[in-house]
Structure 1
Amino acid sequence: MDDSNTHKVDTELGSMTEQGNVDAKPPDEPHNVVPLPLPHPPPPPPPTIDFRIQFTTATKFDNRAQMLKWVSDLARSLGFVTVIVKSDNEAIGRKGYVHIGCQRGGKYREYCHRKSEQKMTLKCGCPFKLKSYLLSSGQWSLNVVNDEHKHEMTGDFQGHKYAQRLLPEEKELVRELTENMALPRNIMTTQKKRRPQTATTMKHIYNIRCRMNMAIRGSRTKMQHLMKCMTEGKYLYNHRVIPGTETMSDIFWAHLDSVKIFNTFPTVVMMDSTYKTNKYRLPLFEIVGSTSTGRTYPVGFAFLSQEKEDKFVWALQSIRGMLLCQDDMKVIVTDRDQALINAVNIVFPKCTPLICRYHIQMNIKANFIKKAKLGRKLRIRTVWRHVKIL
């Protein structure tokens, strides 16, 4: 009995050992190890480009401007931009010279210390350098000091601020075209036609126009300059300020020619507001009249701080003051602005107020299509077509 118990215990131990050996991994079996990602290979060194042959010349230039133009044109044709690194203006006892380098030479100097801002620069420490000296004969010589570039050349100079600069004669052209009421896009097209290789953008055109306007305005504020222009242009204008302050809230103006035509054809007048015409987000209130031949003409304009009844009343009173006979106005056409309709009834009680046909049509279309439970294609192509015919 003891032997049988011993045999039974040995059998159970053997089975447990076999089960444990099945679950366990052999000591020689390799473990599953996740391989680490290989580091990226270092970037290749920047190419070294030699331009000694191109800039080596025995030519003597008659003046400094001629030398700089020759260097700049040659550099642009090769794919980079040159800048003046250092120069001397021929002071007493010193010899005039000019040191010319690549625009991408030197290091970027931070003007702010905000770490969150991402800074991008074209500068990469390019060692290219030229030297030009003023000779005793009055001519300028050119020597190559360092002929290497440590960056690739480019054919597109967008973003190169020195290459995008306008020439003095081009700046004068922008001023002349601006005075002749030319649009900026037309000015840009003219510049491209005259110098196809220019890298100037619309931003430069706007900057010159802004500096021109600031020079014309001088020390006056924008509102003071506006009043001056209206006085010189012989406009009829009226304005209001916020009570207790010197801040202008509303302004109305009309040309004298418009006043004459308005007194000739005052029967029908149309009024509406236009938006997104100025950076102050003020609505532009327009008053337009109609002649006996059906042609329209501008009566006056007003910038209103708000589209409220008292604002419209003030603008309509300015219009009424332009009429020699205030009973000549018969019909006033407006949109569905209730504040404007109320103001018309207050200032011109004898006039017949009408709603613009265009606004009526848009209102019918919006409500009818919304309430008509029809398919989209049938609703737009068929139903609305019959509504317009009616």
Structure 2
Amino acid sequence: MEEIIEEQINDGNQQHDDSLEVNAAADQDQEPKVGMSFSSEDEVTRYYLNYARSMGFGTSKINTRKRDDGKKYFTLGCSRARKYVSNSKNLLKPNPTVGVQCKARLNACMSSDGTVVISRVVLEHNHELSLTKAGYVRRNKNLDPCIKRRLRLNDQAEIDGSRNFQSSVVEANGYDSLTFGEKDRNYIDKIRRLRLGTGDAEVIQSYFDRMQKQNSQFYYRMDVDDKSHLRNVFWANARSRAACEYFGEVITFDTTYLTNKYYMPVAAFVGVNHHGQSVLLGCALLSNEDTQTFTWLFSTWLECMHERAPNAMITDQDRAMKNAIDIVFPNARHRWCLWHIMKKVPKKLGKHSDYESMKTVLHGVVYDSLSKGEFMERWEKMIKDYELHANEWLKEIFDERYRWVPVYVKDTFWAGMSTTQRSESVNSFFDGYVNSKTALKQFLEQYDIALRDKVEKESMADFGSFNAEIACVSIFGFESQFQKAFTNAKFKEFQAEISSMMYCNTCFDRLDGLKSIFSVTESKKLYDKMKYVVFNVSFDEENLQCTCYLFEFKGILCRHILSVLKLKDKTESVPPSYVFSHWRKDIKRRHTLIRCGFDHLAGNIELQRLNKACDAFHEVAFMGINTDEDLLKVMNWIDNLKTELSSKELLQAQQHIDNHPSGLNGPAS
């Protein structure tokens, strides 16, 4: 068996990268065959790299050796050829691995004159291939000299890295066509993006029109008053609209970010994708935050999303939002942001003489109550012990307890979200794209660029779940079941529940009709003391439910149910209904097929010509200007070309004057 040597072709080796540019010849995507001959090792490596990219896999050098006959033998293979070896310090939290001992490879022999002949070929892979994800394979990314030069010059000009990187994305017409990744550039420290320019509502309309021309499914609405003054703007691109089909069941809505020039709140509709990442489902700029404005916005969003209303919605404690949600989404479960409520505690209760101890008790009542009855009992005791009967704020939030207290809302699916911090993180994500001088229309352009970065992060996570598996930490069959079904991020969360089974002690309690009721005692450490919490699990052959409601809340089976399955010797698999579809990696979701609008040159023939000319000039500059004579020849050619083009431009201008005598003084009357 061939020994695999850690000699995967290193992207960081700049000279090696330059010599192995991915410029596939017309016949270089053909299948490798025994007997094929190449002039050098670089040529066969370049050939196999291009073939791999056309098939949808990555490559690595597996081994190389020199024999007594003077010939060099080496093996190029699939990048997933390695054997899995865990380097995790915690055996219960293994790292993702790409190694699956794939046997796909080619063996080659290089003679003393440098000629290389393929001696053996294995084409079959033991894993799935994907053309759409091949671009994320590290070896398939390559910085060509033109891009490297531009990045260096932009860096010297103090142009920040992400703006630098985005120019390459636009030029390549999208991330899919880019030959290198954002992590491959070494000059980027901060984020700054291109600006749309200055202007008013008419320019914003022009921007939306351009976006709609790129994709007819781009949606926007502009709300104006009776004097045609712009009040509110909402927009969502085609990808966001398609993503809502899968991730619009639970959304958070927040209005915390202001563009300082126009003092307009940015309202973000945010969902959670199958990796647990934030995904934007629409955005708006508002002139006011009253019930009428939110009603217009929610109605517009609902129309945009084909009348697909959310099942659950998280907002902050805003009465205008509450009223609008009751009007537009009457069937949605509306939850207040727990974080927003709890951060008001110092302001509302900070003057109390026993504030510190009372705050600790309040946190225990809110976070540690396991049933509604327990919450009521502990709340009443807190009010009595600290004489808080007259506190109006506590009365108000108690009356609305079913909107924010965890024990009252945990029976609903919230995709694991307990606060609107996801919305806020999206707003903070715009930091670096805009500043205090950012105009309204500039924000729209920056939003579009920021959203592309989110799309790229989702694509990278898709590739990670497709290309690498996280090893199981147990022998239970249901762990392997979820390993195959869930994305890596969500499988890690499921593994955390498996690991925590060691803290659970399970015993049969009673029969309730056809259901068996089990008591699961979990050991928890609280303030350096052990605490024992009892959960009840209801079990029959097809139905599982725990009083912790983790599955209902998050879509992940809890450690208590898993402990019961272990006790009942039902560890091979769980019913399919408990493999929550929201977190599955094997579902083909339509929104991933929709590209964001990258082609800013579309419809602008002059810019397209300029872009092509620049590419050609760069290519000439790097072809072979090795001497002063070569440089002089190129510069003379450019001077002659400039003279020729200038003469042509003067001739066209003179012809225009001859045909239109009034041309120098404006149009004829």
Instruction: Report the TM-score, using the length of structure 2 for normalisation.
Output: 0.25
Structure with more relative contact order (C-alpha pairs < 8 Å, separation 6 or more)? 2
Higher relative helix content: 2
Instruction: Report the TM-score, using the length of structure 1 for normalisation.
Output: 0.41
